[in-house]
Amino acid sequence: MSRRRVAITGLGILAPNGLNTEEYWASLIAGRSGVRTIESFDTSDYPCRIGGEIRGFDPEPYFKDSKLLRRTDRFVHFAMAASIMAMKDSGLELDKEDLNRIGVIIGTGVGGLDTLEKAARKLIAQGPSRVSPFVIPGMMANAAGALVSIEFGLRGPNYCPVSACATSAHAIGEASRMIRDGITDVCVAGGSEATVTPLAMAGFSAMRAVSLRNDNPEQASRPFDRDRDGFVMGEGSGILVLEELEHAKKRGARIYAELGGYGQSADAWHLTQPHPEGQEVANAMRFAMQDAGVETVDYINAHATSTPIGDICETNGIKRALGDNARKVAVSSTKSMTGHLLGAAGAIELAACVLAVNRGVVPPTINLDNPDPECDLDYVPHTAREMKVRAALNNSFGFGGHNASIVVKEFVD
């Protein structure tokens, strides 16, 4: 029996530089950053005062119940909006589907942190009797997937991976496996994050992990650049609709691309630092390409967060994984324009790979003014590039040494 193939039929994106998929893609191709000075809380005492906030977003149209809107965290608002966008984009007619055969896998690296922080402040200031009964359902990581399932009545497998910055890549990869294995025919998969909050910004600042380029927010995220000084926090959500190929063809769906391969590994090295030689990130890439049946790819959307160590480690990993082909591949980091969305990063970046395959353009790495000599690949500096992309690879690497890579391919029947 031949392996079931996985089509990508729907995209929903909410990013710092675009409130829907087309806005996001247009910003990427134009090299437009969504990083600004943080406005949602007072950062005057913080070392880092910049982030990729979602601005101008109204969650109300995405919620039928205004009470539910008030009782849910911002990361749930993002996930609900992106899921509704993705489902609409897919053209699925749910009244014609077996809802037991449609799953939901939506992950988050942190979950409802804003809800938790506000509840903790109230507890300290007013005592336990003033803590809301909606705190627990508001902060739990699985709330986004649960509410998306409820919204559409989807009764297939539903769970929430949490693997730091590899989360949404794991969610999408595992969703593809369920379709291949015949467990589901369709899966709504991705991630959501809302960590531009006082505690998260204080914590990452204390780790000295974030950029302090406060006077030039749009230039702060600069992957592979000699002068990079840390990542920039971002927020948002990316959701993809994955579908068994024959199921998609039968209903006449528009197919963006095929999800060809998924690989994962663990560094088994350090809780927050990647292995310097990039051996296990290379293995994740190798496994994904082997799974996809390709020896190389045309484009890599790199995890590259703009940290001094991480970008070198990934460069080393790409060289290990692709060998002589490494210098022939276009590599870019769209985090230069969105900041780092933690658990949602992989999903919005995989969407960029899907669109690169579908439209024949790869987004640039902006702010790459002075390339680091140890980062010596083709990083598509400053300007998008028109090129044929038959296969693209997306990397997502999380604290704890969690590595995930996904290959998407041009759909050929």
* Sign for the pseudo-dihedral over CA of 375, 298, 261, 23: positive
Which residue(s) pair with 193 in the sheet? 236
User: Is this prediction's pTM over 0.85?
Assistant: yes
* Sign for the pseudo-dihedral over CA of 242, 262, 234, 74: positive
State the pLDDT at residue 284.
98
388's CB contacts (< 8 A; 6+ apart) are 298, 360
Consecutive H or E run containing 385:
strand 385-386
Instruction: Identify the CATH number of the domain defined by range 6-250.
Output: 3.40.47.10
Active-site pick, 160, 165, 187, 313: 165
Nearest to 237 by CA among 86, 84, 15: 15
What residues of the chain score a pLDDT lower than 50? Answer: none
What's 225's DSSP letter? Answer: B
Decide if domain 265-401 falls under CATH 3.40.47.10: yes
State the pLDDT at residue 1.
57
- Whether 265-401 and 6-250 are alike in CATH topology: the answer is yes
State the pLDDT at residue 80.
98
Domain boundaries, the chain: 6-250, 265-401
**pLDDT, tens only, 253-300:** 999 999 999 999 999 999 988 888 889 999 999 999 999 999 999 999
Indicate the burial class of 299 (C-beta count within 10 angstroms; 0-12, 13-18, 19 or more). buried
Cα distances from 277 to residues 106, 182, 265, 307, 310, in angstroms, run: 31, 38, 14, 15, 10
Consecutive H or E run containing 21:
helix 21-30
In the annotation, is 165 catalytic?
Answer: yes
| 365 and 332 Cβ atoms separated by less than 8 Å | yes
State the pLDDT at residue 2.
77
